[in-house]
């Protein structure tokens, strides 16, 4: 089993709903990431947090709002999404040292209706 836990596993939401995705890791990693993956495509980076501060936003629309409450938790708040935002949302973590690999969770499968 993966050491990065994501909840929920599946989420169906309407375009007017507000929902949140959650991610937790207890490996002591100080970098955490959100990736988006469409079917049959590679993961695409959305956000990077280092030491609980947002360090990279890959020009993601404001209807996606990340939050890092502490070094173990990462949230992604969703509001007014579009059907094209339906995808697998992956959380990952890594150490902040040269050569540290990313550890991915199993993702949240999001469907926007």
**Shortest reach from residue 11's CB to other proteins, in Å:** 15
Please state, as a whole number, how many other Cβ atoms lie within 10 Å of the Cβ of residue 86.
17
DSSP bridge pairs for 88: 37, 109
**How far apart are alpha carbons 31 and 96 in whole angstroms?**
6
CA nearest to 33, candidates 7, 81, 66: 66
Residue 102 found at the interface with other proteins (CB under 8 A): yes
**How far apart are alpha carbons 81 and 13 in whole angstroms?**
9
Residue 27 found at the interface with other proteins (CB under 8 A): no
**Shortest reach from residue 75's CB to other proteins, in Å:** 17
Range 40-99, binding other proteins (CB under 8 A): 40-43, 45, 48, 50, 55-56, 90, 92, 94-99
Residue 105 found at the interface with other proteins (CB under 8 A): yes
Site for other proteins, rule CB under 8 A: 2, 4, 6, 31, 33, 40-43, 45, 48, 50, 55-56, 90, 92, 94-107
């Amino acid at each position: 089993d993966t050491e990065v836990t994501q909840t929920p596993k599946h989420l169906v939401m309407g375009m007017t709903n507000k929902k949140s995705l959650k991610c937790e890791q207890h490996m002591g990693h100080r970098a955490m990431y959100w990736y988006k993956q469409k079917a049959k495509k590679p993961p695409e980076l959305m956000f990077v947090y280092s030491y609980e501060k947002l360090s990279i936003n890959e020009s993601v629309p404001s209807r996606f709002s990340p939050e890092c409450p502490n070094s173990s938790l990462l949230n992604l708040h969703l509001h007014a999404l579009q059907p094209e935002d339906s995808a697998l949302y992956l959380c990952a973590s890594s150490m902040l040292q040269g050569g540290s690999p990313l550890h991915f969770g199993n993702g949240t499968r999001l469907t926007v209706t």
